[in-house]
Amino acid sequence: MKPIERLAGALKASPAVVFTGAGVSTNSGIPDFRSETGFYKKYHEDDLAIEAYFDDPDKFFTAFWEKFSSVFDAQPNDSHKILADLEKAGYVKGIITQNVDRLHQKGGSKRVIEFHGNIFDYDLIHVTDKNRQLYRIINSDVPVHSIMDGNQLAYRQGKYIYKPQVVLYGEGITKWSESLLLSNAVKTHIIIGTSYVVSPFNMISYNNPNKDLEVFVINKEPIDYQGHATQIIGDCSEILRELMTYLK
């Protein structure tokens, strides 16, 4: 039996929780992080860390804009739309995503946990001279496009600096308990478009107590999954389109 047929059989037996990463959105024109042409061929993950945000906002936003400027005009691709269709049909219980682009929601998915936040909500932060970790959140109705327009002055407002509600490296996760509750309720996990090396995101499946858990990986490159997983290698959208033919 082909791996994709096994996946279809697992979905027919019970719904899955889907874990997605940047590879799901590359067909929407958003670059990924760790592939041969990814963001980290030029930058390092430290450039998108909370320390970088506080230490050198100009440098931080230069990298941030280069990575995420394509998000605003991006449209859902077949991967997002098919996952929404799978949820509607009862094959998918929900999505836990690393992505901050909200393309799953635009594509029609209803239950989406934004594990790393999103680029569209933001805080206005006052950084003190004595303690840079002490800040105050201020409500603001400034359109996000006017902040993230590539202009280094745009994200400043006097002594305040805008910060997208993206979970940067070095920041805590607020969606851990919600993610575990969802992921532990199913017998099938599908990991799509991610190298699955970022912690604690990758610990959600690793910590699953279900001994009968089946894990399927859909990615353009094999990943080093720490456990048994069925890997289906190729373009995410093409594989999901093929999957749908087995579910009809």
Per the annotation, the verdict on 116 as an active-site residue is yes
* Domain final residue pick, 166, 186, 202: 166
Catalytic residue among 116, 126, 145, 228: 116
The stretch 113-125 carries a mean pLDDT of 86
Residues 108, 57 share a domain: no
- Which single residue is written with the structure tokens 């279900």? 210
140, 238: one domain: no
For residue 18, give the H/E element and its range. Answer: strand 16-20
Binned at pLDDT 50, 70 and 90, residue 130 comes out as: very low
**Least confident span in 140-144, 177-181, 217-221, 223-227:** 140-144
- State how far the Cα of 117 lies from the Cα of 99, in Å rounded to an integer: 8
Query: What burial class does residue 139 get, using C-beta atoms within 10 Å of its C-beta: 0-12 exposed, 13-18 middle, 19+ buried?
Result: exposed
Q: Are residues 141 and 227 in the same domain?
A: no
> How many domains does the chain fold into?
2
For residues 4 and 66, membership in a common domain is answered with: no
Q: Is the pLDDT of residue 166 over 60?
A: yes
Q: Are residues 161 and 189 in the same domain?
A: no
Pair (89, 69) in one structural domain: no
Mean pLDDT (the chain) is: 86
Same domain, 178 and 64: no
pTM for this structure?
Answer: 0.87
Instruction: Tell me: do 108 and 180 sit in the same domain.
Output: yes
Q: CATH code at 204?
A: 3.40.50.1220
Q: What confidence tens digit (pLDDT) does each residue in 10-26 have?
A: 999 999 999 999 999 99
**Residue 54 clears pLDDT 70, i.e. is over it:** yes
Cis-peptide, bond into residue 200, ω within 30° of zero: yes
**Domain final position from 166, 198, 229:** 166
| Structural domain span for residue 139 | 31-73+118-166
